[in-house]
Structure 1
Amino acid sequence: MATETEVGEPLHQRGWRTAFTVAEKVSAWAALVGVIERGYGDDIYEYTNDLSCRNWLHEAWLLLDDHIVQLWTPQIKTVDDRYRTATVDDDGQALEQFHKLPGPDLWWWRRHPRILTGDLGRSLRSASAIGTDPDTA
């Protein structure tokens, strides 16, 4: 089993662009959720790329020592809960118009931001996503 700094190397060998640490990816996930809570205005392709930071954490959890999983799980659960609050579950119907959805265990791909703004909002609305528009609220 890997430590929180060692886990990045086998994931890098699997195709991730660099050997990230758990702390880096937890921070990236929290930062993304913060942007989603305020209204993610970038385009659909940046959004799906950004969403993959949660995939990394999912993959890393399978390789990490149990005590590291126990240490980080409460923080990730808190960010996951914030993500659920800031998003709408549509079983991935809107996102799958633009990106092939991964398996059902990657539940974050089956949700889209509640606040639909900017390029992402326009794209998701074109795929029949329902949410709020901060510009008309």
Structure 2
Amino acid sequence: MPTPVTDRLRAGFADRRVLGRLGAWEGMVNRLVEGWPPDGWYPATYYREDLGTRDELADVADAELVPALAEVDRRFREATVDDGGQALAAATGRPVPGDRWWWRRIPRPLPWEGPRRVSQSLRPTPPY
């Protein structure tokens, strides 16, 4: 997944670890916005891990990072709804932290529910 917000910071941002976390968060948000390519499915455990990545960025106060993170967060908020963390907790069997807003937000439809669709290019060709 492209990460244009993160890429803009690559040249001058010193902390590569933090930049990597931003890139991971932005990549997940982009997958969410694009409908979870290639098959429209994304496990709840992966989603939970991605929210943990966002946790790692919560206390970074770098002047360059803050606006970039705000841009990615805005896209995340626009693509999700607040359900209080109920759907993710139910799917993973673990409560979500209540003190971080991103843990309470989920995409609709839930990418971990329903049948996993196989992309058209991976479907076997019927013999003719």
- State TM-score, norm by structure 2: 0.66
Shift of 1:30: 0.6
Q: Deviations over 1:101-128 (max 9, x none)?
A: 1132x110101012434xx1339xxxxx
Letter in 1 for 2:106: H
Q: How does 1:27-106 map to 2 (within 5 A)?
A: 27-40=23-36, 41-59=41-59, 61=60, 69-97=62-90, 98=92, 99-104=94-99, 106=100
Unaligned runs of at least 5 residues, structure 2: 1-12, 116-128
Measure the CA separation in 2 of the matches of 1:42 and 1:90.
18
Distance 1:56 1:25, change over 3 A: same
- State TM-score, norm by structure 1: 0.62
Shift of 1:50: 2.1
The count of residues paired between Structure 1 and Structure 2 equals 97
2:113 to 115, 121, 132: 121
> Residue 20 of structure 2 corresponds to which residue in structure 1?
24
Q: Which moved more, 1:40-49 or 1:26-35?
A: 40-49
Unaligned runs of at least 5 residues, structure 1: 6-19, 124-137
> Residue 107 of structure 1 corresponds to which residue in structure 2?
101
CA RMSD of aligned residues (A): 2.2
Q: Deviations over 1:80-101 (max 9, x none)?
A: 0000011111111211212321
SS of aligned partner of 1:70: coil
Letter in 2 for 1:100: P
After TM superposition, what 4+ stretches of structure 1 lie above 4 angstroms from structure 2? none
Measure the CA separation in 2 of the matches of 1:72 and 1:85.
20
Letter in 1 for 2:46: E
SS of aligned partner of 1:112: strand
